[in-house]
Structure 1
Amino acid sequence: MRSMTGFAHREHNSDTVHMVLEIKSYNNRYLDLSVTLPGALSVLEPEVRALVGARLSRGRVEVTVRLRELARNPRVRVDSDAVAAYRSALETVRTVAGIPEPVTLADILRFDDVLVVEHERDLDAYRELLLPMLDQAMDDLDTARQTEGQATERDIRNQLERVSVALKIVENVAPQMEASLTENIRTRFAEVVGDQADEARIYTETAVLLVKYSINEELSRMSSHLAGFAESLGLDEPIGKRLDFLCQEINREINTIGSKSFVLDVSRQVVEMKDALENIREQLRNIE
């Protein structure tokens, strides 16, 4: 079992480059991936998305890469057309304004695009640096998510045990419910017609009420759902959606049992099961 919450951090330092990679993940119904790369590495975004998407199935995941180049060999090029255009415009301004001072180099250099700085980067070298770092960070993230997932699994199993214990109590009380129902029908017939009650009619009325109030089918389905839930907890794969579906089915059976119950002990156990199940559903919101 893996949590959807995790964090991973990796750094690379050399004489030429300092790179920092961070991955943060949060709970989310689907996989929502956000990638923030420096402009120099933006062409690698599809590869980053593909690598992360292959490792995760759910969660809000933020991948951030920061890059600082320590040794650069920039090429500085003068944009002659821009220089000529700016000088012409400044001369026109000087003439219109009646300013005697000539246009200076400092005036022209105030415009950013006069000097064009071009960096020569080896994209393949950055790819060979970034992608292995990302793969290692994903291993770290997976370890963090597994660690938190194990703690969550222990809590879910404890809550699941609460449901199982309460269900066992209800199963033990169920025959008493049927016996009590039968006794109540006989008592009512006796109150109305005395010793003249038709035994066949009593059996018929009893059968009708037993069909209406019997919880045997609900108990059987709940036992099956709980067994499937416990089995799924041990799978080494994304199980969050499956467990959420089973919780819905279990909740449906608990509600039906509660609606049919006329015995105080059963009603108490229904409350216990609903409380434990709500705790499980709360935990499942953070399971992949």
Structure 2
Amino acid sequence: MKSMTSYAYLDGIVNGTDISCELKSYNSRFLDLNINIPSTITQLEPFLRKYFSKRIIRGKVDFYLRLKKLHNDQPILPNIPLAQSYYKSIADIAHALGMENQITLDLILRQEGVLQIDKNFDEELWQKALAPLLDELTEKFNACRIEEGKALSADIRKMLAVLSNSVAEIEKNAARMEQLFSAMLKKKFSELMEREPDPQRVMQETAVLLVKYTINEEIIRTKAHITALKKEIAENEAPGRRIDFLCQEINREINTIGSKNQLTEIGQAVISAKDALENIREQAHNIE
């Protein structure tokens, strides 16, 4: 199980050029991948998009690649006029805000277009050289997601225990519900026979009461959904959507039980179950 929230940063050298890579992600229902690279190497965007799409299932993911240091033998050219313009603009902003001017070369080099790769840029060569660095970055990124996923899994398991206990409490009191229902049914049956001794009519009224107050089927379905939920958490590496779906199904059954309920004990168990479900769903929104 992996969290959708993660962060990883890595410095490296690609074809003799110092670069930095940053990868961070947040919660999202689907994969929302944003590739942020200098305009001079936009040819790499399809490669990067394909790379991360194969390794991340869902989440809002931001990837940044920055060119940090020039080497004389590399086909990367500095745009001096643009760098000077950036420097002046940053200095003007610092002066206007009354801040100390602490402009560094690293800050200038990060700005869009300051470093330019010439037209002979070898895309395939960069892809091959960049791949090992991306693998290392993704490994760090996933390690963070897995670690946080363990904490999420522990919280969900605790809430599952509360949910299971609540359903067990409902099931324990279901027999009392049946006894109460049986007494109501006998009374209703007697009233019907006194004013309308029509057997078919009596059967119809009885069927309505059966549907209205019996909760055994809801309990059976709820327990089956909980079993499926536990299996997803134990076996599925990316169970977020499935957990959310099963929680919706369980919530539907619990709501039905609550609407049929005639006992205080069951009512309290229903509230406890719904609270646990809400917590599980909140955590599921953080899971890939």
What interval of TM-score do these two structures reach, taking the shorter chain for normalisation?
0.7 to 0.9
Q: Give the letter aligned to residue 160 of structure 1.
A: L
Q: Residue in 2 aligned with 1:163?
A: 163
- 1:174-193 maps to which residues of 2 (within 5 A)? 174-186=174-186
Using the aligned pairs only, state the percent identity.
Answer: 39
- Out of 55-64 and 66-75, give the one that drifted further: 66-75
1:40 Cα deviation from its structure 2 partner: 3.4
1:143 Cα deviation from its structure 2 partner: 1.1
Question: Computing the radius of gyration over CA atoms, which structure comes out larger, 1 or 2?
Answer: 1
- Relative to structure 1, the CA distance from residue 166 to residue 19 in structure 2 (aligned partners, 3 Å threshold; closer, same or farther) is same
Q: Give the letter aligned to residue 50 of structure 2.
A: A
1:23 Cα deviation from its structure 2 partner: 0.2
Distance 1:187 1:117 in 2: 89
- 1:34-113 maps to which residues of 2 (within 5 A)? 34-72=34-72
Q: Give the total of aligned pairs.
A: 244
1:259 Cα deviation from its structure 2 partner: 0.1
- 1:246-265 maps to which residues of 2 (within 5 A)? 246-265=246-265
Q: Residue in 2 aligned with 1:109?
A: none
Distance 1:192 1:226 in 2: 41
Paired residues of 1:218 and 1:256 also in contact (CA < 8 A)? yes
- Relative to structure 1, the CA distance from residue 236 to residue 208 in structure 2 (aligned partners, 3 Å threshold; closer, same or farther) is closer
- Relative to structure 1, the CA distance from residue 47 to residue 192 in structure 2 (aligned partners, 3 Å threshold; closer, same or farther) is closer
1:39 Cα deviation from its structure 2 partner: 3.0
Distance 2:225 2:41 in 1: 49
Stretches of structure 2 that go unaligned for 5 or more consecutive residues are: 78-115
Q: Give the letter aligned to residue 21 of structure 1.
A: C
1:125 Cα deviation from its structure 2 partner: 4.5
Q: Residue in 1 aligned with 2:275?
A: 275
1:136 Cα deviation from its structure 2 partner: 1.2
1:53 Cα deviation from its structure 2 partner: 0.4
1:216 Cα deviation from its structure 2 partner: 0.5
SS at match of 1:19: strand
- Relative to structure 1, the CA distance from residue 72 to residue 39 in structure 2 (aligned partners, 3 Å threshold; closer, same or farther) is farther
- Out of 39-48 and 29-38, give the one that drifted further: 39-48
The one-character-per-residue Cα deviations of 1:73-111 (angstroms, maximum 9, x if unpaired) are 5799xxxxxxxxxxxxxxxxxxxxxxxxxxxxxxxxxxx
Paired residues of 2:11 and 2:19 also in contact (CA < 8 A)? yes
- Out of 133-142 and 250-259, give the one that drifted further: 133-142
TM-score by length of 2: 0.75
Q: Residue in 1 aligned with 2:12?
A: 12
1:131 Cα deviation from its structure 2 partner: 1.9
Distance 1:57 1:217 in 2: 36
1:15 Cα deviation from its structure 2 partner: 11
